[in-house]
Amino acid sequence: MRATARAQPNIALVKYWGKSDVSRNLPAVGSISITLDELYTSMSVEFDGALPGDVLTVNGEDDEAMLARAGRCLDAVCGENRQRARIDSQCNFPIAAGLASSASAFAALVVAADSAGGREHTIAELASLAGGASGSAARSLYGGYVELENAGDDIVVTSLCSATDWPLKVVVAVTETGPKRVGSTEGMEISRKTSPFYGRWIEQQDADLAAARDAIAARDFAKLGEVAEHSCLKMHSIMWGSRPPLIYWNSVTLECMHAIRELRSRGVEVFFTIDAGPQLKAICTPGSESSVTDALSATTGVRDIMISGLGDGARLVGDD
Ligand code: PMV
């Protein structure tokens, strides 16, 4: 009745921004991501018929705000007649700050719940269930390079290439540690309804996905970087063009972006991406991470640096 699973966050290289169906949490576009290694959420789920209601602790503290969402996710995996659950989440990186903590949390939650509840969903089914709770969580069920296809009334998630087949590195520059200003579901709806660029974004997504898929198949770092930065900046253009505007960057985010472009002009194989938060993620080839780390550490205002390789998908780490 108790199980523990671990999952790492993923970072989208071809972003998703916008939902086709908010009630079912279906994305309006497909996306391609990389699953990280060193950052993780470890999630324990224990079903207990004696509990009056679900209980959620995050890093040892009660978390009322996330409880209902976690409970709905357990219902989706184990059915609404399930026993109440004690859920304990341990996360080794900042939460809700644009570092994809919800992706690792819900990916780990569906795997732990499935096992604790004695269910035997396939990974593909668990990916779809995790996606119902957090769009990007579906991608953390798989390792390495992952594509999420928007299949109309469901999603299909596949691994394009394993972490060991193309072991790139990721250097995260943390520029702020507070929670994000506007949650992504709310932000996506604001953009869908108000941004003049939203329609073009949807139209162009298939071309970006195809370019990234080809670059990954050919291990073409420069081509992958070009499409990833383009996708990131396009997504932020939609956000900036929304009413009210969604500005997730701070001045340090922009300084980090310049630092990465400057490094690249000197021949370092690196590109950047930024999600719905102020942190910059630099993706580089193995061996380049020390110069990337040095450049980002030297950028005034960077508070912390995290370095990660690429890793596997969500998995059980304990079952008793
Ligand atoms: O996982 P969600 O539904 O909170 O959305 C995440 C959206 C971005 O991180 C900004 C882009 C992406 O594809 O991960």
* Percentage of the chain lying above the pLDDT 70 cut: 98
Rounded Cα distance, 311 and 6, in Å: 12
Q: How much is the pLDDT for 302?
A: 97
pTM (2 d.p.)? 0.96
Separation of alpha carbons 276 and 151, rounded Å: 24
- The DSSP H or E segment spanning 85 is strand 85-91
Instruction: Return the residue whose CA atom lies nearest to atom 3 of ligand 1.
Output: 135
283-292 tens-digit pLDDT: 999 999 999 9
pLDDT tops 80 at residue 23: yes
Q: How far is the CA of 72 from the centre of ligand 1 (A)?
A: 19
Q: Which residues contact 243 (CB under 8 A, 6 or more apart)?
A: 190, 194, 195
Model confidence at 180, in pLDDT bands (50, 70, 90)?
confident
What is the structure's pLDDT at 93?
85
pLDDT at position 7 over 70 = yes
In the predicted model, what is the mean pLDDT of residues 214-240?
A: 98
Tell me if 75 sits within 8 A of 82, measured CB to CB: yes
Query: pLDDT tens-digit profile of 187-218?
Result: 999 999 999 999 999 999 999 999 999 999 99
Q: Is the pLDDT of residue 318 over 80?
A: no
The pLDDT value given to residue 96: 65
CA of 49 to the centre of ligand 1 (A): 35
Q: Which atom of ligand 1 is nearest to the CA of 19?
A: 3
What radius of gyration, in Å, describes the C-alpha atoms of the chain? 19
Q: 14, 17, 189: which to mutate for ligand 1, most atoms within 8 A of CB?
A: 17
* Pocket around ligand 1 at a 6 A CB cut-off: 12, 15-17, 31, 102-103, 134-136, 184, 275-276
Predicted confidence at residue 179, as pLDDT, reads 76
Q: Whose CA is nearest to atom 6 of ligand 1?
A: 136
Residue 173 three-state SS: strand
Per residue in 125-162, pLDDT (tens digit) is 999 999 999 999 999 999 999 999 988 889 999 999 99
Instruction: Provide CB contacts within 8 A for 149, sequence distance 6+.
Output: 30, 155, 156, 157, 158
CA atoms within 13 A on the CB side of 286: 8
Rounded Cα distance between 9 and 33, Å, is 10
- Average pLDDT along the chain: 95
- Yes or no: say if 288 and 269 are a contact pair by the CB < 8 Å rule: yes
Q: How far apart (Å, rounded) are the C-alpha atoms in residues 248 and 274?
A: 9
Confidence class of residue 35 from pLDDT cuts 50, 70 and 90? very high
Q: Per-residue pLDDT for 320 more than 60?
A: no
Name which residue sits closest to atom 8 of ligand 1, judged by CA.
Answer: 275
List, in order, residues 6 or more apart from 174 with CB less than 8 Å away: 94, 97, 99, 279, 302, 303, 304, 305, 306
